[in-house]
Amino acid sequence: MNDTTNLFQTKTQELLENFHNLTGIKICLFDASGEELYFYPQKLSGFCELIRKNPAMDEACKNCEKKAFLECKKTQSHYTYTCHAGLLECVTPIIYGQNVLGYIMLGQMRKKGDDFKKIKKLFSGLDMEKLESEFHLLPKISTEKLNSAVCVLDACASYEYLKQIVSEKEQKIDIQISNYINANAEGDLSVQKLCSVFHLSNNELYSIFKEYFMSTPAEYVKNRRLNIACDMLVKSKLPVSTVCKKVGFFDYNYFSKIFKKQFGISPTKYRKGAK
């Protein structure tokens, strides 16, 4: 497990903890297949733990979650519902483009004013005294507080969405830079220009080149320009002086000098030797 993964897990756990500290409500994160990845403060409340010891109840709980995920995926919006055990839950999707990457759920709450007597008939065969005791430990929530919690929940989902974007950008930054240099060999490829295009500091740019290309930006750009020049000399009939300019060298003598240093032969002889 690398440092980036550890950092992401830490930040995700902190997000869930902060949400719980703010609202007093359990929150958890699921992947797109419905597998629970993170939760806070515990996986199950005492009430739900007692219920799910019963295989039939456990299956009913899983079916409630699946139905909620499907509804979120269909509407691409949050979904609030009362589960089979009479508790209030809400799920919101984590969306990237048109794709649902996962879900954030808050749950195991009882509505303000709910009485155990109203739902005890659902749990025949269970230890009612213990179950009622655990029921009263569940967080109570009003409609107003639930609406506020849902707004924060949606913001949490947006946060995870942004993390995904940042992650993808970091994973592909080397390809983005390489493609940009290839497409703009004739233009300005200075450190300042690359920093501006990719919104990076000088230190960040140098670190990327060191990590991905094992080179400095200037050295990498020079080598790419010379390699592109080789390709143009072989595949085109452009004069060498034109090729020189097409790859960003505007001093022909300098171009010839570094080309010969790199390949041990002049551009003209390179072209002749390739035919």
Predicted TM-score (pTM) of this structure: 0.55
Q: Kindly state the average pLDDT of the residues 86-92.
A: 89
How high is the mean pLDDT of the chain?
84
Confidence band, pLDDT 50/70/90 cuts, at residue 5: low
Confidence band, pLDDT 50/70/90 cuts, at residue 172: confident
Confidence band, pLDDT 50/70/90 cuts, at residue 152: confident
Residue pLDDT, tens place only, 216-266: 999 999 999 999 999 999 888 899 999 999 999 989 999 999 999 988 999
Among residues of the chain, what percentage have pLDDT more than 70?
91
CA 257/CA 254 separation, integer angstroms: 5
pLDDT(157) > 50: yes
pLDDT(111) > 50: yes
Among 183, 155, 18, smallest CA distance to 92 is for 155
The full set of domains in the chain, from first to last, is 3-169 (3.30.450.20), 184-274 (1.10.10.60)
Residue-level pLDDT at 2: 47
Q: Lowest mean pLDDT: which of 108-122, 150-164, 255-269? A: 150-164
pLDDT(164) > 70: no
Q: Kindly state the average pLDDT of the residues 32-59.
A: 87
